[in-house]
Amino acid sequence: EEYMACGVGACLGCARKMKSSDDEYKKICKDGPVFSIDEVELLRNKKNDR
């Protein structure tokens, strides 16, 4: 859990990439906060990526 800067979607600090298209982002504060794991593009930790 993290604090959100504005909580209303104005700052785009909580925007996360979705799997459905290359340019689709959703705002956690307005569109979420809960999403199916199949919807969200998860970031990989490149340091531990083998």
Question: What digits encode the pLDDT tens for the residues 1-50?
Answer: 667 788 888 999 889 999 988 889 999 999 988 999 999 998 755 565 44
What is the pLDDT, as a whole number, of residue 50? 47
| Cα–Cα distance measured from residue 26 to residue 35, given in angstroms and rounded to the nearest whole number | 10
What is the pLDDT, as a whole number, of residue 39? 93
Q: How many domains does the chain have?
A: 1
What is the pLDDT, as a whole number, of residue 44? 59
How many other C-beta atoms are found inside a 10 Å radius of the C-beta of residue 37?
7
| Cα–Cα distance measured from residue 15 to residue 41, given in angstroms and rounded to the nearest whole number | 12
pTM metric for this prediction: 0.66
For the chain, where are the alpha helices, taking DSSP H only?
Answer: 28-31
48: tokens are: 């531990």
Write out the residue range of the structural domain in which residue 26 sits.
1-50
What's 22's domain CATH number?
2.10.240.10
What is the pLDDT, as a whole number, of residue 23? 86
How many other C-beta atoms are found inside a 10 Å radius of the C-beta of residue 14?
21
